[in-house]
Amino acid sequence: MKKKYFGTDGIRGRVGSPPITPEFCLRLGWAVGKVFAEGEKSGRAPYVLIGKDTRISGYMLESVLESGLVSAGASVSLMGPMPTPGVAYLTRTLGADAGIVISASHNPYYDNGIKFFDASGNKLPDEVELAIERQLELPMECVDSHDLGKATRIEDAAGRYIEFCKASVRRGFRLNGLKIVLDCAQGATYHTAPGVFTELGAKVTVMGAEPDGFNINEGCGSTAPAALAARVVAEGADLGIALDGDGDRVIMVDERGEVVDGDQLVYVIAMHRAAGGTLGGGVVGTLMSNFGLEIAFRDAGIGFHRADVGDRYVLESLKNHGWSLGGESSGHIICLDLTTTGDAIVAALQVLHAVRESGRSLGTLAAGMRKMPQVLKNVSVAAPAERAGSDAVRSAVAAKTEALADRGRILIRPSGTEPVVRVMVEGEDPAEVEAVADELVGVVSAAK
């Protein structure tokens, strides 16, 4: 059965347009409450946590989700602004049946979304998402007043998550003497990330920690690291850390102001773990991972597997292989031995662990991987899947792939989170890569 509302990472869209409307999200909360009540074997009412990022629409969506859940008999605990991985962690440790995150991650403030975790802090399996969608088609009925759920607030959620992040590195690990510039993207990490790095001893200059409901991801964070790079150079810092709006992506900047992307960060973590005998198998990347990462791991004798794009597919592949480290170029990095989902702060700490124990700079460690020139362009279209799979696009890709031969590769795919087709071209010659990408963008734009 094809899903109607759920995408690769929950339900997402423009606020005020279906499905991100108050009416739909009220019904969604009710449907989630009903599905988890039916699956609760102990007979008790389901217990659900709700966290959110800093978008202005979070207030509205939080209240209607709470009402929907309570009307189905579920009890709710609200956490306020909380990074996505923090919600996953607290769902697991507080014994909740589900966790909900109100966030559109790296998107602008006028978008929002609803993401879910199960009791173990994992993304919901397909069968549960389908059950929720089936429930949405039924008439909404409130339980008897005696069976209504209750709503409470977790006041120490941020402190609990800070302690979890600090515990993800070995006991006694310190960042004393390290000068860091930290960009919180005006998002959900604004009141957690600074505390983590400061309490571990680093001297931290904080950017993007004054959210106003509208400035999330605006010219800052992991999707726009230029300001961070300039600040690192101006401050003479050792490195910079850029998080995204909901705290599940991280991009870093080295001591020279050069951006270090998710592929390079995965490389740094993997090589450090391999040297210490703690890698535990190979590494999972995605179809978008730079070919240079694959070459670097091949040369180091480290297994590498490409999953479909999306952290849920990286996680699925890690579990299938029995490995613990995987990630995406965008900065979704999963350390499965430490947590159940992509966590920007935990991943950054793993990189800092490599920096401190090796005694080498981030730039030096990242230089061990030679990135192939890669161009990624987004083409806004109304029906991304149909456009990406059109005959014209497939024919053009086949012709250009044959022309590139073994000097590069092409990937065209519909985004799972935005109404765009992503065009990626990679190869040895930067000029050729750019020219091929431009030609394919034209074909995608004109295709029927």
Phi, psi of 241 (to 5 degrees): -125, 120
Catalytic site residue from 103, 105, 329, 390: 105
Q: How far apart are CA 417 and CA 103, in angstroms?
A: 12
**Checking phi first, is residue 258 left (phi over 0); if not, alpha (psi -120 to 50) or beta?**
beta
Cα–Cα distance for residue pair 165/100, rounded to 1 Å? 20
Distance between CA atoms of 192 and 169, rounded to whole angstroms? 16
- Print burial letters for 249-264: b (CB count within 10 Å at least 16), e (below 16): bbbbbbbebbbbbbbb
Residue burial 125-164, b: 16+ Cβ < 10 Å; e: rest: eeebbbbbbebbeeeeeebeeeebbebeebeebbebbbeb
Q: Whose CA is closest to 334, among 75, 121, 39?
A: 121
Structure tokens at 286: 């995605």
* Catalytic residue list contains 105: yes
C-beta of residue 201 within 8 angstroms of C-beta of residue 174: yes
Write out the catalytic residue numbers: 105
